[in-house]
Structure 1
Amino acid sequence: MTSQRRPGWAARFALPFAVLNALLTMENHGPGLWPSPALRLSFELSMALVALTAWIAWRGRAGAHVLRLLAAATAVWTVARYLDVTTSAVFGRQINLYWDGRHALEVLRMGDFAAWQLALGMLALLALPLLLYRIALACWCALAQALAWTPPRRAIGLAGVVLAACFAAHGIGGRDTRWFFSMPVAPILAHQAEVLAGQLLPGRSAAQLPPSPDFAQEGLAGLHGADVLLLFAESYGATTLDNPQQAAALAPARERLAQAIAAGGLQVVSARVRSPTYGGASWLAHAALLTGVDTHDPGAYELLLATERPSLAGHFRSHGWRTVNWMPGLHRPWPEGRFYGFDRYVDADGTGYRGPAFGYWRVPDQASMALLHAQELAQPPGTRPPRFVVFPTLASHAPFRPLPPYVPDWTRLTGDRAYTPSDLAQALAQPVSWQAPVTPYLESLAYTFEWLGDYLAHRAPRGMLTIVIGDHQPLASVSGAGASWDVPVHAISADAALLKRLEAHGFRPGLLPPPGPAAVDMHALTPMLLAVFGAPAAGLPGTAE
């Protein structure tokens, strides 16, 4: 490089370096999908620049193949960075390429996008890596030209040594010597490679499956033949208790539910448990409670369904209960669901719902409950086998729209005029927003509390035990960054002795669980319930019976 070009050297170096650094240090603080720049330095970019400087000093120039390799690596690093920070911002958890990739299309469909919008988005996704590659290649070529001038190479080499020393000295003497660095991307890619290996390589995950509780030790004498409704309340998280604004907004609906429970001659006790998942992947929570197996690792879930482990469904079935898996959120065959051993499996088409489709999920929860009651619970107890029913709700699933209206006349919900055209039009007119989801989230839970309270007060079978449990916290744009993985669980029954046994295990009266973090994981709730269901009288710690 000639001396005449020296005055412009800094600009020719700084601009491409700044572009590459911005791509590799982007952050996303939510709640949307758009990242923002960060005033930090990419350690990997710094080391790559030092390596390029050394290469040019050794070979005299950087060959085209070297620059293309750096550009390709930068594009991959950028995509990995975006996926990691955006998944954390939106869902509040680390990305899992194996699982999230399999369900990405379903998540997009929930947003009620038109087919052309989905097609355009797919084309953009395909074109984005090529665009990133072209941008990175132009930047690396510019840097290589700038580094052809010898004097700055020495300074860059010295700076690289200093930065590497700072990175390596982190934590020594309690000092933070990485405060100006962005989180490296390489550990993200290494973790994803480990996850993929654990899922795809034979034998890697088999040894990781945790043990099951001993179902054979317990019976169901403590239920006295009562029906059991296990209601997984979608995205019903501890944020509704811990966030003061959300707790206050939901307090009237929660109080009306408490009044309805009392009006039905019922009592309620509540606790907190830690879900194995956060912001999504509800099936991990369902499996954890239904089997008592720790499923926080998705690989454990995948392996679990290929085993013959015991489940609550099989346990109830072996003691004379008719077991029903009421799953209106499933729109396609789910053969692996046979693992649980239910007598009857019902998906969206099997519910018998003949009303209009409310968005992606189609079947409103209240109508689903009305159909479940008519088909399985309407006949008086004692004239039929008792039921064990698992029913995951849908209204509070992101994006929390469209929300159906509450219908006072439950008999209308089992026919083909369940909702009027104006009901549907009004629900569809409410905007779907991933940017401002808190209000519709709380409205969806208030709707759940309303129909559930009415059902328990006036329609539920006599003696039925209802367990309402959140499957996971809502996505991080609702619950906030760094929220716990806790969810509420409520047990509602007229059997005071049964609820007293739950109190001995940490539940407390009312709809508000004890404050503080959850004492147990969700899978640990299963052996607790087995003990309570199997104890007809005294014998549990802390009971006064």
Structure 2
Amino acid sequence: MSVNVLAAVLVVAALVMPNSVVRLGPEKFLRIPGEAVIGAALMLALPRRPRIVLAAVSGVALGAMTVLNLLDMGFNQYLGRSFNLVLDWSLLGDAESYLEDSLGRAATLAAAGGVIAVVLLLFVLLALSTVRLSNLLARHTGTATRGTLIAGVVWITCSSLGLQISGVPLASDRTATAVKIQARRVADTLRDEAEFQKVAKVDAFGNTPAAQLVPDLRGKDMIFTFIESYGRSAIEDPIMAPGVDSTLDARTKALAKAGYHAKSGWLTSATYGGSSWLGHSTTLSGLWINNQQRYRTVMASDHLSLTKAFKKTGAWDTVGVMPGVQKAWPEQSFYGLDKVYNAFELGYKGPKFSWSTMPDQYALEQFQQRVHGRKHDKPMMSELILTSSHQPWAPIPKMVGWDQLGDGSIFKGIQAAGNKPADVIADTTKSREEYGKSIQYSVTALTEWLERYGTDDTVLVFLGDHQPIARVSGNHASRDVPISIVAKDPKVLDKITDWGWTDGLRPAHDAPVWKMSAFRDKFLTAYGSTPHPKKG
């Protein structure tokens, strides 16, 4: 009897399980699943062989839906969206790499093995449970028939009257609804792929002659910098904001003393919690790239990225400094970068800081030595991706003397003395505190670099790529990220006076909020570019 009860509990729990961690609660599992009522009726009507086959297939299908629910939970918790059955399988490999960098290979292999074992066990247990319950129904046909009829009447009554427990409907069709949602999501994804291919071929500046692109920035050394996970929560959350805001205010004053001034606003990112490349490509392409298929489509297109616009003029040499890139990076062509320095080309001999291959301060110093500080026939347009504020925010680098950076070996002691990733990952409050410290570090490193090495012709544009994960930013956080433009030449900031941005590095709460995809065209227009549309 106890085995039968366990089988029933397992099946019902799988049928009513929500797909979000925040929706988990005992009331969710005290519901009547309509699918179970229909399934029982079918089992009672079928002969033995078809009944067992249907029961086993139903158990396997229920196992698959449970796995998808669990994936939805993880994606909602970390990326603020549900799992996409068509596009997101490739991200599981990235998740494994992240765990290996954060927790080590042994722990990652153990975790991966545990996940595989749990998934297989789930499929087996649900298949065995449904078969066992079908056999139970067949052995007690009369009782089972009456029970099924009563359950059906109760389900219809609860559904018709809208009866609830703690605000949750008693009558559940959770699994059937989930199947419909997944099917609709697949259809929408396939349709979106075709539609976006058409959208990507249309470009307001696609046919703009080189001489008519960013004429008001000629002679400037342009730097576009993304700070990992630098989101609105860093500036407004009560735990993170005090330290981050203090750093932004202090760095604003330090830059002003060095002759620099800044204006800041907000952009709504196309991604959340991760998939930074979607934020980078959305900002620089002017297209809303919120999934992997859109990303692949635009990377294979000739759509004009903001960075490539500078290359197209012929007036700038272009370079990328990408300490997070550890493999071939064909995206270099789309971004119009003549040269890219990846993680292995910056001479770093120090330790990794969890996922981050090197501290931002070191990457910036290498940018100075290899790019910005050298004499060039043309001004430089540079794209930098800073990674020290990448989760799990442990250990976090500390600033050292710029003249002491050397090959990065100085960071060995700092890394060894820092927090262990496992300790921070397991503690939500600690994660939020350490996230705030990592943003302070990255902002300080970047602005100290500008203060130390910037010239009258240096123009820095820096922004976040997305908000941190929901466990840090909150389950209902916005998708907004800060963006700042910093320059010595007052004419550079005069060009964006009508944007309504806030003076300084800290955007006001009510500063304008644009979709991230709007930035490219607004920037190109502000600095004198003339639209010459390219139509698909």
What TM-score do you get using the length of structure 2 for normalisation?
0.86
1:318 Cα deviation after fit:
2.4
2:414 corresponds to 1:423:
yes
Alignment match, 1:487: 481
Q: Deviation per CA, 1:421-460, whole angstroms, max 9, x where unpaired? A: 4223223657553233111111100111221221122222
Letter in 1 for 2:357: R
Residues 187 and 291 of structure 1, relative CA distance in 2, 3 Å threshold:
same
Q: Deviation per CA, 1:384-430, whole angstroms, max 9, x where unpaired? A: 4111111111011111122122112x2332x3354154223223657
2:436 corresponds to 1:473:
no
The number of residue pairs the alignment matches comes to 514
Residues 337 and 219 of structure 1, relative CA distance in 2, 3 Å threshold:
closer
1:186 Cα deviation after fit:
1.2
1:68 Cα deviation after fit:
0.8
2:222 corresponds to 1:232:
no
2:12 corresponds to 1:21:
yes
1:144 Cα deviation after fit:
2.5
Question: Which ranges of structure 2 fall in alignment gaps of 5 or more residues?
Answer: 531-536
Task: Report if the CA contact (8 A) 2:85-2:186 is conserved.
Answer: no
2:151 corresponds to 1:156:
no
1:466 Cα deviation after fit:
0.7
1:13 Cα deviation after fit:
6.6
Separation in 1, partners of 2:201, 2:4: 54
Alignment match, 2:258: 264
1:181 Cα deviation after fit:
3.8
Letter in 2 for 1:360: W
Separation in 1, partners of 2:85, 2:30: 23
* SS of residue matched to 1:360: coil
What is the aligned counterpart of 2:28 among 35, 40, 52?
40
Letter in 2 for 1:74: L
What is the aligned counterpart of 1:356 among 351, 357, 374?
351
Question: Which ranges of structure 1 fall in alignment gaps of 5 or more residues?
Answer: 1-7, 171-175, 537-545
Alignment match, 1:347: 342
Residues 197 and 55 of structure 1, relative CA distance in 2, 3 Å threshold:
same
1:335 Cα deviation after fit:
2.0
Task: Report if the CA contact (8 A) 1:406-1:451 is conserved.
Answer: yes
What is the aligned counterpart of 1:95 among 68, 77, 83?
83
Task: Report if the CA contact (8 A) 2:395-2:421 is conserved.
Answer: yes
What is the aligned counterpart of 1:79 among 51, 67, 71?
67
Separation in 2, partners of 1:492, 1:506: 15
Matches within 5 A, 1:48-87: 48-57=36-45, 59=47, 63-87=51-75
Residues 435 and 98 of structure 1, relative CA distance in 2, 3 Å threshold:
farther
RMSD: 3.2
1:191 Cα deviation after fit:
4.4
What is the aligned counterpart of 1:293 among 284, 287, 299?
287
Moved more, 89-98 or 158-167: 158-167
2:395 corresponds to 1:402:
yes
2:312 corresponds to 1:322:
no
* SS of residue matched to 1:451: helix
1:515 Cα deviation after fit:
2.3
* SS of residue matched to 1:244: coil
1:114 Cα deviation after fit:
3.3
1:365 Cα deviation after fit:
0.8
Matches within 5 A, 1:107-506: 107-111=95-99, 112-147=102-137, 148-160=140-152, 163=155, 178=169, 181=172, 183-184=174-175, 185-191=178-184, 193-194=186-187, 197=190, 206-207=197-198, 209=200, 211-214=202-205, 216=208, 218-319=212-313, 320-379=315-374, 384-408=377-401, 410-413=402-405, 415-416=406-407, 418-419=409-410, 421-427=412-418, 432-436=423-427, 437-506=431-500
Q: Deviation per CA, 1:198-251, whole angstroms, max 9, x where unpaired? A: 69x9x5763464733325174222224111111101100111233233222322
1:165 Cα deviation after fit:
7.4
1:297 Cα deviation after fit:
3.8
What TM-score do you get using the length of structure 1 for normalisation?
0.85
Task: Report if the CA contact (8 A) 1:27-1:38 is conserved.
Answer: no
* SS of residue matched to 2:124: helix
Alignment match, 1:540: none
Alignment match, 2:533: none
Letter in 1 for 2:514: V
Letter in 1 for 2:443: F
Give the fraction of aligned pairs with identical amino acids, expressed as a percent: 24
Moved more, 359-368 or 91-100: 91-100
* SS of residue matched to 2:482: strand
Moved more, 522-531 or 53-62: 53-62
1:337 Cα deviation after fit:
2.9
1:192 Cα deviation after fit:
5.1
* SS of residue matched to 2:281: helix
Letter in 1 for 2:352: A
* SS of residue matched to 1:323: strand
Task: Report if the CA contact (8 A) 1:264-1:456 is conserved.
Answer: no
Task: Report if the CA contact (8 A) 1:96-1:195 is conserved.
Answer: no
* SS of residue matched to 1:230: strand
1:285 Cα deviation after fit:
1.2
1:15 Cα deviation after fit:
4.5
* SS of residue matched to 1:231: strand
